[in-house]
Amino acid sequence: MNLQELNRVRQIGVIAARHGFGELTERAGVWRMLGKRERVEVSADAQRASTARRFRMLLNDLGPTFVKLGQILSTRADLLPAEFVEELAHLQDAVEPFPLAQVHEQIRSSLGGEVQEFFAEIDPTPLAAASIAQVHRAVTREGVEVAVKVQRPGIGEQIRSDLGVLRTLARLLEATVEETGIYSPSGIVEEFDRAIHEELDFLNEAANTRAFYENHRERPYLRVPQVHAELSSRTVLTLEFLRGTKFSQAQLAPEQREQLAKNIVDASFRQLFEDGLFHGDPHPGNILVMEGGVLALLDYGVVGRLSKPMQDTLVMLCMAVALKDSDSVARILYRVGVPDGRANLVGFRNDIDGLLNSHLPRTLAEVDAQTLMRDLLDLAVKYRIRIPKEYALLSRASVATEGMLRTLYPELDIQAVALPYAKELLAGRYDMGQLQGGLMKTLLRFQSLASDLPTQLSQILLDMESGKFSVTVRADQFDKLNANLRAAAVIAFLGLCACGFIVGAFISFAQKPWLYGGVPVLGVVAIALAAMLFGAAFTWYLFGARFGKVRVSRFLKPRR
C-alpha cells in the first residue's frame, strides 16, 4: 500500500472507532498495520444509536464511495439483515454540484468534440446532483429537449482507490471475523465492485433504458425516455426530456389515483411475468405524473432480470405462501438459494410455518407484504441460505411499489385487483401447450434417471463388495476437537521440554559446573530457557482463546 492508501486506512479506522466499531478495527489489526494506535472517543450519538444506525452514520462520514456502497447494499437483503437494509435505504448523496466548465470538459473528452457541436444550449443549473453524476436539461442542435447525465470528474479513480483500501480491510477482517459465509467481507466488496462498475458505465444504463422502451412502447399508460445513442458514451448519457410532476407532489382526484394505482399494478405484473425485466428502484423520486395521467419511469441504473425458470419459481413461491404451505416455501427457497453448508431444512420449515401463521390469519388485503418478505429473507440469512440477488432486488422493488400504492390509493382492494392476474398466471402456467412441453421435459428426466439408476446402484454395490466403498463424515465439532487436541499436545510438549531442560541442566553440570562469580552459567541458561518455554505455554493457555476470531454477528444484533 502507498502512503495515500495508508492514510485513508487510518482515517477509516478513526471514523469507525468514533462510531463505536473500535473493537472490530483493533481485532482486525488496523492499528498494528499502521504502527500507531489512535485514541478516539465514541461520539454521544453513536452511544445512543443502534448498530445498524451507527453503520449508516459510519458510511455517510466516510464519503461518496462508501455512501454508494451503502446504497447498493440496501438493495441486497440477501447479504445483510433487514434492520441494516432498512437503515441503509435512508442514505442520501450530500454532494455539491460540479461547475458547468467541468460538465463541458467531460462532454468534450467523452464525445470527442466541442459542446456546441452537439448541444445548442445546456442549462447551467443541474436538475439533480449525486456522487456519481449530475443531470442537466439541454437542447440538441436539432432543437430537441433532452436530459444529459454527466459523470463526476475523477469519480472513477476515487472509487478504484477506495476499492483497493476496501479489499485490504476485507482481508484483515477475514482473519478476525469468524463467519466466512453469508457475511464474508471479501464477498461484499466483490459484489460492490461489480455493481459500481456497471453503474459507472453509462452504456449499461442506456441498454437497460432501450430494453424498457421496447417492452413498454405498446402500453399507453407508461412512458420510458428514448436514448440518444449518438450523444451518449460511457460517461455521458443523453435521454429524452420528459415533463411531469413528481409522483409525491401530484394533485390528483380520487378516480385518477385509483386508475394510477391500477396502472402501477399492471406495469409491475407485466415487467415480472411477461418481460422478465423489472425496475430495481421504483421509489417516488423516479416516477413522474405526466399530462393525461401517464406515468413516466426514470433512472434505469438498477434493474433486475428474471429468466423463465425464475418466473416459474416465483409463481410457485407466491402460491405456496398464499396457501400457507410452509414445506413448499422452505424447499423452494432452499432450492433457489445457495446454502453455506448443509442447512437445517426441518428447522427452516418450522420457522417459516410460524412466520406464515403470524402473517396470514387475515385476508389478502390486510397482509403486510413488506414485513412478510423482510422476515422471510431474514430467515434465509439465519439459516445461511444466500438468496440470488435478483430475488433480493425484487423484494426491495415490491416493498417500494406497495408503499406507493398504499400512499396513492389506500382504499385499493388488493385482492380484487390481484385476482385477474392470478388467474392469468395459472392459465398460462397450466395451458395445454405449456403443460405438454413441461410434461415432456419431466418424462425425459425420468427416463434419464431410470437408465442411470441401475448402473449407479451396481457401482455402489460392487464398491461395497470389494471394500472400496467409503463414507466421509465431517462435523464442526470434530474440527474443534481436533484443534483442541493439537493445542493440548503443543502445551504438553513445551512443558516436557521445560522439565527436560531443568533436569538435564542439574544432571549434566552438577559434577563439573562452569562457574562465573560462583554461579553455574549453563545451569542458569537452562533454567532460563525452561522458564521461557513454561511462560510461553502458560500464556497460550490463559490468553490463547482471546486471539481467536470475533463473531461479527454480535455486532449485527440490534441493541436492546
pLDDT digits (tens, 9 = 90+) for 420-453: 877 777 776 655 555 455 555 556 556 666 767 7
What local confidence, expressed as pLDDT, does residue 400 receive? 83
Q: How many other CB atoms sit within 10 Å of the CB of residue 443?
A: 10
In this structure, of 17-26, 202-211, 219-228, 461-470, the range with the lowest mean pLDDT score is 461-470
Average of per-residue pLDDT across 52-76: 85
Residue-level pLDDT at 149: 96
DSSP, res 177: B
Output the CA–CA distances (angstroms, integers) from residue 18 to 7, 9, 10, 145, in the order listed. 17, 14, 12, 48
Can you give the C-alpha Rg of the chain in angstroms?
31
Q: With cut-offs at 50, 70 and 90, classify the pLDDT of residue 560.
A: very low
Q: Domain segments of the chain: what residues?
A: 3-94+157-198, 100-151+201-303, 306-430, 433-463, 477-553
Q: Is the pLDDT of residue 36 over 90?
A: no
Indicate the range of 426-430, 464-468, 482-486 predicted with least confidence: 426-430
CA distance 298 to 84: 26
With cut-offs at 50, 70 and 90, classify the pLDDT of residue 405. confident
> Among 187-191, 322-326, 438-442, where is mean pLDDT lowest?
438-442
User: In a 10 Å sphere around its CB, with 0-12 CB exposed, 13-18 middle and 19+ buried, how is residue 124 labelled?
Assistant: exposed
The answer to whether 402 and 316 have CB atoms below 8 angstroms apart is no
In this predicted structure, which of 166-170, 192-196, 231-235, 361-365 has the lowest mean pLDDT? 361-365
Which residues are bridge partners to 287 per DSSP?
Answer: 297
pLDDT tens digits, one per residue of 76-103:
776 777 788 888 888 766 678 999 999 9
Query: Strand 287-289's sheet: what is its strand order?
Result: 222-223, 295-297, 287-289, 245-246
Distance CA(196)–CA(164), nearest Å, equals: 14
pLDDT for residue 406: 82
Evaluate if residue 510 carries a pLDDT over 70: no
pLDDT of residue 4: 76
Tell me the DSSP string of 18-54.
Answer: HTT-HHHHHHHTHHHHHTSPPP-PPPHHHHHS-HHHH
Report how far residue 488's alpha carbon sits from residue 496's, in angstroms, rounded to the nearest whole number.
12
Asked if residue 220 has pLDDT above 70, the reply is yes
pLDDT at 38: 78
- When the pLDDT of each residue in the chain is averaged and rounded to a whole number, the result is 80
Grid coordinates in use for 189? 466488496
Q: Which SS3 state, helix, strand or coil, does residue 246 take?
A: strand
CA distances to 67, 133, 238, 299, 419 from 126, rounded to whole Å, are 21, 10, 14, 16, 44
Q: What local confidence, expressed as pLDDT, does residue 178 receive?
A: 58
3-state secondary structure of 471: coil
SS3 63: coil
pLDDT score, position 206: 96
Q: Are 127 and 136 in contact (CB under 8 A)?
A: yes
> 387 pLDDT exceeds 90?
no
pLDDT above 70 (res 19): yes
Is 463 tagged catalytic? no
The residues that bridge with 316 in the sheet, in sequence order, are: none
Q: How far apart are CA 121 and CA 140, in angstroms?
A: 7
Is pTM beyond 0.75? Reply is no
Between 480 and 267, where is the model more confident? 267
Which of 78, 162, 281, 351 does the annotation list as catalytic?
281
Give residue 34's pLDDT band: very low, low, confident or very high (50, 70, 90).
confident
Q: Which pLDDT value is given to residue 218? A: 92
Question: Cell numbers of 140, please?
Answer: 440538441
* Residue 511 pLDDT > 60: no
CA 511 and chain centroid, separation:
73
| Residue in 215, 50, 37, 68 with CA at minimum distance from that of residue 130 | 68
Q: What is the 3-state secondary structure (H, E, C) of 339-374?
A: ECCCCCHHHHHHHHHHHHHHHCCCCHHHCCHHHHHH
Neighbours of 73 (CB within 10 A): 22
Cell numbers representing residue 468 in the block: 472400496
* Percent of the chain with pLDDT strictly greater than 70: 78
- Which residue matches cell numbers 421509489? 283
Higher-confidence residue of 230 and 247: namely 230
Give residue 48's pLDDT band: very low, low, confident or very high (50, 70, 90): confident
Whether 189 has a pLDDT exceeding 90, the answer reads no
Instruction: Give 409's pLDDT tier (boundaries 50, 70, 90).
Output: confident
Confidence category of residue 201, pLDDT binned at 50, 70, 90: very high
DSSP string, 427-439: HHHT-HHHHHHHH
Please name every residue paired with 373 in a beta bridge, in sequence order, or none if there are none.
none
The grid coordinates listed for 276 are: 422478465
Q: Contact, 397 vs 304, CB < 8 A?
A: yes
CA–CA gap between residue 74 and residue 93 (Å, rounded) = 14
Cell numbers standing for residue 61: 462520514
Per-residue pLDDT at 133 exceeds 80: yes
Give the pLDDT of residue 430. Answer: 58
Angstrom distance (rounded) from CA 31 to CA 41? 16
The pLDDT of residue 109 is: 94
**Which pLDDT value is given to residue 32?**
76
Backbone angles phi, psi at 154, to 5 degrees: 80, 0
Cα separation, 413 vs 417, in Å, equals 6
Position 43 scores a pLDDT of 84
Distance of alpha carbon 181 from alpha carbon 79, whole angstroms: 10
Maximum mean pLDDT: which of 46-50, 123-127, 427-431 = 123-127
Which of the four pLDDT bands, split at 50, 70 and 90, describes residue 366? low
Of 143-157, 217-231, 498-512, the poorest mean pLDDT is in: 498-512
d(CA 428, CA 272): 14
Q: Which residues contact 559 (CB under 8 A, 6 or more apart)?
A: 50, 51
| Model pLDDT, residue 501 | 65
The arithmetic mean of pLDDT across residues 488-497, rounded, is 73
Q: How confident is the model over 191-213, as a mean pLDDT?
A: 92
CA distance 389 to 297: 22
* Residue 130: pLDDT over 90: no
String of b and e for 235-273 (b: at least 16 CB within 10 Å)? bbbbbbbbebeebeebebeeeebbebbebbbbbbbbbbb
Over residues 234-268, the pLDDT tens digits come to 999 999 999 999 888 888 888 999 899 999 989 99
Of the given ranges (35-39, 139-143, 514-518, 521-525), which has the lowest mean pLDDT? 514-518
Pick one of 3.40.630.30, 3.30.70.100, 1.10.510.10, 1.10.3720.10 as the CATH number of 100-151+201-303.
1.10.510.10
Q: What does the pLDDT read at residue 546?
A: 44
Residue 486 CB: number of other CB atoms within 10 A? 10
